[in-house]
A and B are shown apart, each in its own frame.
Chain A
Amino acid sequence: MLFRKLAMALVLGGFSLVSYAQKGETVKIAWIDPLSGLMAPVGSNQLKTLQYLAEEYNKGNAAGVKFEIIGMDNKLSPAESLNQLKAAMDQGVRYITQGNGSSVAGALVDAVNKHNERNPGKEIIFLNHSAVDPDLTNHKCSYWHFRFDADTSMKMEALTTFIKDLPDVKKIYLLNQNYSHGQQVVKYAKETLSRKRPDIQIVGEDLHPLAQVRDFAPYIAKIKASGADSVITGNWGSDLALLVKAANEAGYTGRFFTYYTGVTGTPTALGQGAAGRVYQVAYAHYNMTGPMAKYRDGFKAKFKDDLYTGSMISIFDVLTGAMAQAKSTDPVKVAAAMHGYKFKGFNGDMEMRKLDHQLQQTLYVTVWQKADKKYPYSPENTGMTLAPVKTFEPYVSSTPTSCQMKTP
């Protein structure tokens, strides 16, 4: 049955593509993210995800193009990323993707802007899969940058709407990484909480160096001393895994409101102990049905690893759709088609908003609990899962933008 469907799709796809000029072209995408250092586990999972999805889309897609992924290690450093961008350009790459570290994304946006201005005919498109600093779609917004994650202002809007209905949250501690993303989490958490729950007290806030801290015990001791019943953190990768590990060891029993509980390392560090106390806000979750489930299971079968960067599915959906529409793989034409592109993806109806190139999509708040019949998927085989507790339609989590985009 599946085979017949697939064959049908291939035949139909082949027929409909005959007239398209871009058919059969190879599109190189350079992935510029960490493969060394503390964030390497996250990076290597995402590179595998991108390669896996490229293979899947190469089996057949609306534009009839082939994707080739070039993985480049940026060591989580903006300077190193610019070197890699240059290397990618030398290889004739016209599409780049990155997501780990808004600091890196900021540097790449600047570099891509300059390059595109100075080299007409050689434009590059930046597909941002996970960098969520709102600045990137506000005062630093760029026509060549497209964000497929939801930014901090959207996630915090959803998260605080959820917290609003939890009366026993009274004292919150903000612990974040000391760079653009972490600072934005602090800013938006304070702003939205004072609007929605003015009675909640922020009993402490801390910024620690990004991907440097090995031992979070002193921070946990401080959080305990502050009397906080909940912690809001935008930490990811090792910074979240080691944080929850230290919290478990020091017997901290408060709640954690996070962005990235499902990301490599953290499920294992959480283990079974933290059921019902750890929440995540994200544009996807492990127990979705449809395309996300298909890729998630395929990925798990192939790599024994979890697929959590669903934004990459949207990247391929938008790219192939826009290329088919533009009948070209030329970034100038494709960008014009992506500008305001509407589609039905793994996360329902989505739109690449014209104003700022921020993908408008549904957000979910999930909670860490035992995997059961209803929500069976267990990340890192922990026997636990992230079960959805609240869904926010795109119009709810959508936030205004101050972007004044220069359209070429």
Chain B
Amino acid sequence: MEFFVISMLNGLSYGLLLFMLSSGLTLIFSMMGVLNFAHASFYMLGAYFGYTLSGVLGFWVALVLAPLLTGAAGALFESQVLRRVHKMGHVSELLVTFGLSYVVLEVVQLVWGRVAVDFTAPAFLQGPLFTLINHSAEGLSLVAGAAGGICTPADPAVRIVCSPFPATRGFIMLTAIGMVVSLWWVLTRTRAGLIIQAALTHPETVETLGHNVPRIFMLVFAMGTGLAGLAGVIGGFTFITEPAMAATVGSVIFVVVVVGGMGSLSGAFLASILIGVIQTFAVAVDYSILQFLSDLGVKLSANAQNNTMLQLSVSQAAPVLPYLLLVLILIFRPRGLLGTRDV
């Protein structure tokens, strides 16, 4: 039971982190039709900005300032580079963001080095948020913070399993949920959100009504990259801040966007959670094709039983599962789970 709860929370927190990234990506895509290949690079920039700023100005300032800086970098890129190549069509836009991802990677390596930097969580986030205690006699209970001495029973006959849940992961969930709510509020309940939504579908009409559509595009781009920066700060100290961090999430967030449906925020949310939870739980499953066949009653030769492909367990294949999901979605539901248009 505690395994399920902890794994579920791990999966949810990872999924929510993915959503912070993919929401910006899908927002930019739905507005400008640009698949921003450098999106994960802004995630990395956010982490490094957060690392440097938290060393100088403290954690809270860094948490606010790093996403703003990242967003400003995004706005600068949109207004100075992306807008210029916009008239040359989507391929050029795609290529220029692709190029940017390389430039950012090299710049990060030049400035901060090729080795992971020591970006650790602030003191109040170190340690557990709560501890789940499974007492063999008294059952399951919950304690806020660390459980301390309760975990080592005085009576050897009693078995107690303590499962702390790290505060950093709780912080990810809290921030992501806060972000979802405020994003939803801005997009649906404010005047700015209405104009953004209108510019999404009818940019010419919005322009004739006297709104500065290029500026709206720039703001959306800044917002998307800023969200990635925020995810970077939080992901940076929860996991690890190093130059390959962009490449590892970069491919997964594209999967999220395609699976959720291009341009659909709610789809991205659903897909992020789905992928986060699937990846976490897949690690726990040792089931292999070999076992599946023997459960079906198929008798295999000794040679076939030693086949490494058949022995491959779900847990070993866990890192591949999101991509498998991507292929399946593209075959059976190309518009994605909640998307409205085909890829």
Given A41-B115, A224-B3, A219 contacting B283 (CB threshold 8 A): yes
Is B166 an interface position by the 8 A CB rule? yes
Given A38-B244, A44-B115, A225-B284, A215 contacting B315 (CB threshold 8 A): no
The answer to whether B319 touches A209, judged by C-beta atoms less than 8 angstroms apart, is: yes
The answer to whether A218 touches B242, judged by C-beta atoms less than 8 angstroms apart, is: no
B124 nearest CB across to chain A (Å): 15
B38 nearest CB across to chain A (Å): 19
Q: A219: nearest residue on chain B (CB-CB)? A: B283
Is A163 an interface position by the 8 A CB rule? no
Contact residues on B (Cβ < 8 Å of other chain), bracket: 35 or more
Chain A residues within an 8 Å CB radius of B240: 38, 214, 238, 242
Q: B280: nearest residue on chain A (CB-CB)? A: A218
The answer to whether B163 touches A250, judged by C-beta atoms less than 8 angstroms apart, is: yes
- Looking at B6-14, B182-190, B215-223, B226-234, the stretch in contact with chain A turns out to be B6-14
Chain B residues within an 8 Å CB radius of A44: 115
The answer to whether A238 touches B116, judged by C-beta atoms less than 8 angstroms apart, is: yes
The answer to whether A207 touches B316, judged by C-beta atoms less than 8 angstroms apart, is: yes
Chain B residues within an 8 Å CB radius of A16: none
Is A222 an interface position by the 8 A CB rule? yes
**CA of A204 to CA of B6 in the docked complex: distance in angstroms?**
19
A342 nearest CB across to chain B (Å): 39
**Which of A37, A178, A212, A217 is most buried by chain B, counting CB atoms within 10 A of its CB?**
A217
3 closest pairs, A vs B, by CB? A218-B283, A225-B3, A214-B239
Chain B residues within an 8 Å CB radius of A253: 151
Give 1 or 0 for each of A64-87: 1 = CB within 8 Å of chain B CB: 000000000000000000000000
Q: B235: nearest residue on chain A (CB-CB)? A: A214
Is A36 an interface position by the 8 A CB rule? yes
Q: A214: nearest residue on chain B (CB-CB)? A: B239
The answer to whether B7 touches A218, judged by C-beta atoms less than 8 angstroms apart, is: yes
The answer to whether B116 touches A251, judged by C-beta atoms less than 8 angstroms apart, is: no
| The one of A38, A208, A225, A251 that contacts B131, using a Cβ cutoff of 8 Å | A251
Chain A residues within an 8 Å CB radius of B224: none
* Interface residues, chain A, with chain B CB atoms under 8 Å away: 35-38, 40-41, 44, 178, 204, 206-209, 212, 214-215, 217-219, 221-222, 224-225, 238, 242, 249-251, 253
The answer to whether B242 touches A251, judged by C-beta atoms less than 8 angstroms apart, is: no
Give the residues from 123 to 177 in chain B that come closer than 8 angstroms, CB to CB, to chain A: 128, 131, 151, 161-164, 166, 169
Is B342 an interface position by the 8 A CB rule? no
Is B211 an interface position by the 8 A CB rule? no
Is B286 an interface position by the 8 A CB rule? yes
**CA of A40 to CA of B240 in the docked complex: distance in angstroms?**
13
Give the residues from 235 to 256 in chain B that come closer than 8 angstroms, CB to CB, to chain A: 239-240, 242-245, 248
Chain B residues within an 8 Å CB radius of A206: 283, 315-316
| The one of A204, A207, A212, A221 that contacts B10, using a Cβ cutoff of 8 Å | A221
Given A178-B316, A221-B3, A251-B162, A214 contacting B248 (CB threshold 8 A): yes
**CA of A221 to CA of B3 in the docked complex: distance in angstroms?**
6
The answer to whether B14 touches A251, judged by C-beta atoms less than 8 angstroms apart, is: no
**Which of A212, A219, A222, A242 is most buried by chain B, counting CB atoms within 10 A of its CB?**
A222
Give 1 or 0 for each of B70-81: 1 = CB within 8 Å of chain A CB: 000000000000
Chain A residues within an 8 Å CB radius of B3: 221-222, 224-225
Chain B residues within an 8 Å CB radius of A251: 128, 131, 151, 162-164
The answer to whether A212 touches B248, judged by C-beta atoms less than 8 angstroms apart, is: yes
Chain A residues within an 8 Å CB radius of B242: 37-38, 40
Chain A residues within an 8 Å CB radius of B315: 206, 222
Given A178-B316, A215-B239, A222 contacting B114 (CB threshold 8 A): no
Given A238-B240, A251-B131, A217 contacting B10 (CB threshold 8 A): yes
Q: A204: nearest residue on chain B (CB-CB)? A: B286
Please name 17 further chain A to chain B contacts, defined as beta carbons within 8 Å, in addition to the given A215-B14, A224-B161, sorted by A numbering: A37-B242, A37-B244, A38-B244, A40-B115, A208-B316, A209-B319, A217-B10, A217-B169, A218-B11, A218-B284, A219-B283, A221-B10, A225-B3, A249-B166, A251-B151, A251-B162, A253-B151
The answer to whether B164 touches A250, judged by C-beta atoms less than 8 angstroms apart, is: yes
Q: A242: nearest residue on chain B (CB-CB)? A: B240
B11 nearest CB across to chain A (Å): 8
Q: A251: nearest residue on chain B (CB-CB)? A: B164
Q: B162: nearest residue on chain A (CB-CB)? A: A251
The answer to whether A249 touches B10, judged by C-beta atoms less than 8 angstroms apart, is: no
A246 nearest CB across to chain B (Å): 9
**CA of A300 to CA of B242 in the docked complex: distance in angstroms?**
25
B316 nearest CB across to chain A (Å): 6
B244 nearest CB across to chain A (Å): 6
The answer to whether A38 touches B163, judged by C-beta atoms less than 8 angstroms apart, is: no
**CA of A242 to CA of B11 in the docked complex: distance in angstroms?**
17
**CA of A214 to CA of B280 in the docked complex: distance in angstroms?**
12
| The one of A41, A214, A218, A249 that contacts B128, using a Cβ cutoff of 8 Å | A249
B153 nearest CB across to chain A (Å): 13
